[in-house]
Structure 1
Amino acid sequence: MRRPKNQQNEPKTAIPRPLAAAAAVLAWLFSSAFAQAQDTPDYFRQNCMNCHTIGGGRLTGPDLKDVTKRQTRDWLANFLTNPKAVLDSGDPYAQKIFEESRRVPMPMAPGMTRERAEKLLDLIEAESKLPESQFKGLQISTAPFTAADVQAGRDIFTGRQRLASGGTACIACHSIHDIAALGGGLLGPDLTNVYDRLKGRASLSAWLVAPGTETMQPAFRNHPLKAEEIHSLVAYFEDAARYRPADPTGDRVTFLLLGLFGAAALLFAFDGAWKWRFRGVRRPLVDAAHKRGA
Structure 2
Amino acid sequence: MKQLLVLVAAWLGLAMAADGGQLYSQNCAGCHGVNGQGIPGVFPPLAGNPRIQDEAYVVKAIRQGVSGPLEVGGQTYNGVMPAMSQISEADARAIAAYIKGLGATTTTPPQPTATPEPATDPALAAKGKALFLGQSRFQNGGAPCMACHTAGNFGPMGGGSLGRDLTDLHTRLGAAGIQGVLANIAFPVMRESYKGKPLTPEEISALTAFFAQTAGQPANTHQMDMARMLFAGFIGFGGLFGVMYLFWSNRRVGLAERIRSRRSA
- Structure 2: runs of 5 or more not aligned: 1-11, 105-116
> What aligned pairs does 1:83-98 form with structure 2 within 5 A after superposition?
83=61, 96=72
Structure 1 position 184, deviation (Å):
0.6
Within the alignment, does 1:76 sit opposite 2:54 as a pair?
A: yes
Within the alignment, does 1:230 sit opposite 2:207 as a pair?
A: no
Q: Given the two structures, how large is their TM-score scaled by the length of structure 1?
A: 0.58
Q: What secondary structure, in the 3-state scheme, does the structure 1 residue paired with 2:72 have?
A: helix
Match of 2:150 in 1: 175
Distance in structure 2 (CA, Å) of the matches to 1:159 and 1:87? 31
Render the CA deviation track for 1:161-207: whole Å, top value 9, x for unaligned.
22223322221122222312213111223222222233x33333333
Which shows bigger deviation, 224-233 or 206-215? 206-215
- Structure 1: runs of 5 or more not aligned: 1-32, 130-141
Distance 1:261 1:222, change over 3 A: closer
Within the alignment, does 1:201 sit opposite 2:175 as a pair?
A: yes
Distance 1:173 1:100, change over 3 A: farther
The letter for the 1-side match of 2:199 is: L
Distance in structure 2 (CA, Å) of the matches to 1:249 and 1:277? 42
The letter for the 2-side match of 1:155 is: A
Distance in structure 1 (CA, Å) of the matches to 2:65 and 2:151? 34
Within the alignment, does 1:111 sit opposite 2:88 as a pair?
A: yes
Within the alignment, does 1:153 sit opposite 2:128 as a pair?
A: yes
Cα pair 1:51 1:211 within 8 Å, conserved: no
> What aligned pairs does 1:20-169 form with structure 2 within 5 A after superposition?
43-44=23-24, 47-49=27-29, 51-55=31-35, 57-58=37-38, 61-62=43-44, 67=47, 71=50, 75-83=53-61, 96=72, 102-105=78-81, 107=83, 109=85, 110-113=87-90, 116-117=91-92, 119-121=94-96, 123=98, 144-169=119-144
Distance in structure 1 (CA, Å) of the matches to 2:77 and 2:156? 34
Cα pair 1:57 1:63 within 8 Å, conserved: yes
Distance 1:268 1:207, change over 3 A: closer
Distance in structure 1 (CA, Å) of the matches to 2:72 and 2:51? 16
User: % of aligned pairs identical?
Assistant: 24
Distance 1:128 1:158, change over 3 A: same
Structure 1 position 149, deviation (Å):
1.1
Render the CA deviation track for 1:1-52: whole Å, top value 9, x for unaligned.
xxxxxxxxxxxxxxxxxxxxxxxxxxxxxxxx9xx87965664455445544
Distance 1:224 1:128, change over 3 A: farther
Structure 1 position 286, deviation (Å):
5.3
Cα pair 1:58 1:206 within 8 Å, conserved: no
Distance 1:286 1:183, change over 3 A: same
Cα pair 1:104 1:213 within 8 Å, conserved: no
Distance in structure 2 (CA, Å) of the matches to 1:270 and 1:61? 57
Q: Rg larger in 1 or in 2?
A: 1
Distance 1:62 1:227, change over 3 A: farther
The letter for the 2-side match of 1:157 is: F
Cα pair 1:153 1:233 within 8 Å, conserved: yes
Cα pair 1:79 1:86 within 8 Å, conserved: no
The letter for the 2-side match of 1:205 is: Q
Distance 1:187 1:72, change over 3 A: closer
Structure 1 position 62, deviation (Å):
4.9
Distance in structure 2 (CA, Å) of the matches to 1:231 and 1:41? 26
Structure 1 position 108, deviation (Å):
5.4
The letter for the 1-side match of 2:35 is: G
Match of 2:161 in 1: 186
Render the CA deviation track for 1:65-113: whole Å, top value 9, x for unaligned.
xx4x65487x33222332389999x9x9x7539x865421363543204
Q: What secondary structure, in the 3-state scheme, does the structure 1 residue paired with 2:252 have?
A: helix
Task: Tell me how many residue pairs correspond in the alignment.
Answer: 230
Q: Given the two structures, how large is their TM-score scaled by the length of structure 2?
A: 0.63
Distance in structure 1 (CA, Å) of the matches to 2:161 and 2:139? 24
Distance in structure 2 (CA, Å) of the matches to 1:261 and 1:87? 42
Distance 1:170 1:235, change over 3 A: same
The letter for the 1-side match of 2:240 is: L
